Amino acid sequence: MSGDVYPLRKKVKKPLPQAFQVVANLLSTGHIQEYVPPWDTRREALGLDKKPPLAYTMEDARLDIEKIAKSLGLDRKLMFDFKTKKFRW
């Protein structure tokens, strides 16, 4: 062997790859896409609520995703901290 370190034990380069950002968004907000505030005015102009009635506005839905992730051990496996909503690398 050439002395290379196993790939999963290498230090993580910053910024995180896009795939990890998607996972972080899903675990922290309950959605893959981050909420974009500029859409608020367009939604209001159409007579809709400012924010969509999803996990962005329902804390219970986000907490359900957090419970599922913790029950599967994803917070430990991915080293994701739900308090700071970031990976601990």
56-70 pLDDT per residue, tens: 778 888 889 889 989
Domain range enclosing 28: 14-87
What is the SS3 assignment for 41-88? HHHHHCCCCCCCCCCCCCHHHHHHHHHHHHHCCHHHHCCEECCCCEEC
Could you tell me if residue 3 is inside a domain? no
4 within a domain of the structure (yes/no): no
- Comparing 55 with 66, the larger pLDDT belongs to 66
Q: Give the N- to C-terminal CA distance of the chain in Å, as an integer.
A: 27
Residue 1 confidence (pLDDT) above 60: no
Q: In this structure, is residue 7 part of a structural domain?
A: no
87 pairs with which residues across the strands?
80
> Is residue 1 assigned to a domain?
no
**Residue 66, both tokens:** 């957090």
pLDDT tens column, 39-53: 888 889 999 988 887
> Which residue type is seen at 85?
K
Residue 2 lies in a domain: no
Residue 36 lies in a domain: yes
Interval 26-38: pLDDT, tens: 888 887 777 778 8
- What pTM value is reported for the model? 0.60
